[in-house]
Amino acid sequence: MTDQTTETRPSTHPSTPPTGEIDGEALMRFVLRAVDEVGAALGCALVVMGDRLGYYRALADRGPLTAAEVASVSDTGELYATEWLNAQAAGGVVHYDPSTGRYTLPAEHAVALTDETSPAYLPGFFQIAFGTIVDAPRIFDLARDGDGLGWGEHNHDVHDGCERFFRPGYAAHLTAEWLPALTGVVDKLQRGARVHDLGCGHGASTVLMAQAYPRSTFVGSDAHAPSVEVAAERAREAGVSDRVGYQVAGATALEGSGYDLVTTFDALHDMGDPVGCARRVLGLLDDDGTWMIVEPAAGDRVEDNLNPVGRAYYGFSTLLCTPSALSQDVGLAIGTQAGPARVRDIVTAAGFTQFRIAAQTPFNNVLEVRK
């Protein structure tokens, strides 16, 4: 069967018209909302385009600008710049002045779209969404049989976008708020602790902790070998490679013990065997050790998550995180919006006895787990 045949396979269930009287105004409201949804879907690619081609940077540094000026500054075609700017204006990302033909990127939008040091920095969020959508046709086929797709099988925009999205938030909150919210952990880190960053990805979290606590030593681990290679390079660039080591290993196959702190950032829900991971962490930790689990912000009930953040995370869960978990042994697939209660059940089943929500942001729950 060809890809084209698979992608266009019709439903096996015949279409039946809805019963009851149709409210024409309600129908039209939904149609117009659907038009907005299409614009938003295309807007994801347009944000990636603006980030990659330097349109946002041109507007932030030199605006207000005409389309011709944006094209000149970014060294791109004017017709593309014109249509991109008009799409951004229609979506409220930039402002258009018809009297001058110039486009303005508001200062607040410029922070979100160009300032990589801001926790509000968004291009990575759009990039990971864009990469996820690119791979979506593969998920459509796998979903028919409930099969999965491994993290490493996704395109580079997923991996790079993940780092670019999460790193600003970690930089803003990890050492300033999250670690201090844990019981006695900062004192250990300042004196010199052993830390394992499980599921480290490109190593942003590992490097940030190593920079903040020069007396401590760190090990980062991830099952995706190319990510570990990037993480090692990030540590060298930051000048902390003498205190940071990395290993390629799945969460249930890690070796070692006596760690004062184990961290897992936005990764537990991607694991096929989170209970097995928790059991391995139990063995990694010292008797007085702490496991800090950072997970996407979520409530314990579906209705708690029916909001813009939950909508985005449920989308990622469907197309990225759940397939990742299903591709692994056990394939528990708790989902991106599992909520603290589900995580508590997992760590309790593994033998931990202490669990609490230590901190929260609009995007994350920070959980403290102890023996």
- 3-class SS at 332? coil
Rounded Cα–Cα distance for residues 123 and 107 (Å): 16
User: Measured on CA atoms in the order 210, 213, 214, 215, is the torsion positive or negative?
Assistant: negative
Predicted pLDDT of residue 13:
57
Is the distance from CB of 183 to CB of 290 less than 8 angstroms? yes
- The token pair at 259 is 């760690």
Q: Residue 338 and residue 274: Cα distance in Å, rounded?
A: 12
Mean pLDDT in each 10-residue stretch from start to end of the chain (371 residues)? Answer: 44 61 93 94 97 98 96 98 98 97 98 95 97 97 96 96 95 97 98 98 97 98 96 97 95 94 97 97 97 97 95 96 96 95 97 97 96 96
- Where in the chain do CATH 1.10.10.10 domains reside? 25-113
Predicted local confidence at residue 6, as pLDDT? 43
The answer to whether the Cα torsion of 205, 206, 208, 212 is positive or negative is: positive
310 vs 297: CA distance, rounded Å: 8
| CATH code 3.40.50.150 region(s) in the chain | 129-370
The whole-number pLDDT of residue 5 equals 41
Q: What does the pLDDT read at residue 12?
A: 54
Secondary structure in 3-state letters for 136-150: HHHHHHHHCCCCCCC
The answer to whether domain 129-370 has CATH 3.40.50.261 is no
- Distance between CA 50 and CA 152 in Å, rounded? 26
Which two structure tokens, joined as six digits, stand for 281?
């962490």
- pTM, two decimal places: 0.90
CATH code for residues 25-113: 1.10.10.10
pLDDT at 20: 73
Give pLDDT tens digits for 199-225: 999 999 999 999 999 999 999 999 999
